[in-house]
Homo-oligomer: A and B are copies of this chain.
Amino acid sequence: MTVTNGRRRRPTIHDVARASGVSRGTVSRALNGDPYVSTAALAAVRRAVAETGYVVNRNARSLVTQRTGSVVMVLSEPQEKLFEDPNFSLLLRVASRRLASKDVALVLMVAGDDGDRERVVRYLRGGHADGVLLLSTHAGDPLAVELEGLPIPAVACGAVLGRESMIPYAAADDREGARQITRYLVEQGRKRIATITGPLDTPGGLNRLEGFCDVLGRKATKKLIVHGDYTRHSGEAAMAELLSRSPDLDAVFVGSDLMAAGALAALRTHGRRVPDDVAVGGFDDTAIASLTHPPLTTIRQPLERVAEETVRILLELIDGAERPEPIVLPTELVIRESA
């Protein structure tokens, strides 16, 4: 319990060995749960550790084990976009918790431009992490390709388009979620249903559009499909575009809550009542969904579970497991007032 050490130096395993009257090796074994340690030795070591305030030096350990006990979370978000994404904090929080419980440190790196990316690769090539967690990686992201050349397991949170077979992932079932809400709009008797998608190089953009088309079939004409970039502003612009193309539309499925908030603003500007004239469906069920007027009917993603599964897969991979199947988790329709 002696917290303040008289010396400047931190206690080492030698100090513990001396204090407990056993050898370095035995201390190491006791600390790492090796079964071949007598109960007497174990107790002595425990006491000595408490006495000296010893904490293992991970650097020294890593040096010999070639394991770092840390993973990197890479955000490959081009610009400040991330800042607008409320899902991110949650993902980060869950992952960090999960990893901490296994005593694995979480290093965060942002890979916005080429320089960033190079830094990430250098860090990983240097062997400073045991694994990589990929967040919001777009189709064609060069990082995904570079990662495959490294002897370090990588798992994505949400599929990396075009690399689904190379990089394992856990994700929400975007396509089925889009089907759920589109079906709901149809059941409500809506006849002319449009959609505002996210960027088509993201799974959320592509898969949700596909789900939309699955339900509407040939009714999903080009005229009723506009693309946004997940920002509120793009939702507003896309909605205006849709209204000018098809003034008689009576419903719109928007690929994210934030864009839906923008769409609601545009609808108001154009004098449409929601949901009377136009029903609006969102996606994500972030905090924003209940803040809008009217509150959004939307699709809840099981983000906590996505994060948990992503981490689980990565840890298993680090422990030498074989490449797992992707995990796709069900979504849920949340009915509020906008549809």
A221 CB within 8 Å of chain B: no
- List the B side residues contacting A188 at CB < 8 Å: none
| Additional A-B contacts beyond A55-B126, A58-B126, A88-B89 (13; CB < 8 A) | A8-B151, A10-B126, A10-B127, A55-B122, A58-B59, A80-B93, A86-B86, A89-B89, A96-B109, A103-B119, A105-B123, A105-B128, A108-B108
In chain A between 82 and 104, which residues have their CB closer than 8 angstroms to a CB of chain B? 82-86, 88-90, 92-93, 96-97, 100, 103
In angstroms, Cα B128 to Cα A267, docked, is: 54
Q: Could you pull out 12 A-B pairs where Cβ atoms are within 8 angstroms?
A: A10-B126, A55-B122, A57-B126, A58-B126, A59-B60, A82-B93, A92-B108, A96-B108, A97-B110, A105-B109, A105-B128, A108-B108
Judge whether A287 is part of the interface by a CB distance below 8 angstroms.
yes
From A80, A84, A93, A288, residue with most partner B Cβ within 10 Å: A93
Listed in ascending order, the chain A residues whose CB lies under 8 Å from chain B are: 3-4, 8, 10, 53, 55-60, 62-63, 68, 70, 80, 82-86, 88-90, 92-93, 96-97, 100, 103, 105-110, 116, 119, 122-123, 125-128, 149, 151, 232, 258, 261, 287-288, 290-293
Q: Please name all residues of chain B whose beta carbon is closer than 8 Å to the beta carbon of A106 when the two chains form the complex.
A: 107-109
C-alpha spacing A108/B104, complex, angstroms: 11
* Pair A109/B100 contact, Cβ less than 8 Å: yes
Shortest beta-carbon distance from A96 to chain B in Å: 5
Q: Which 6 A-B pairs have CB atoms at the shortest separation, nearest pair first? A: A55-B126, A59-B62, A59-B59, A59-B63, A55-B125, A106-B108
Q: How far does the Cβ of A122 sit from chain B's closest Cβ, in whole Å? A: 6
Q: Which residues of B sit under 8 angstroms from A80, Cβ to Cβ?
A: 93
Residues of B within 8 A of A85 (CB): 89
CA distance A96 to B82 in the complex (A): 13
Closest chain B residue to A126, Cβ basis: B55
Which residue of B is nearest A123, CB measured? B105
- Closest-by-CB residue of B relative to A80 is B93
User: Are A232's CB and B291's CB within 8 A?
Assistant: yes
Q: Are B53 and A125 in contact (CB under 8 A)?
A: yes
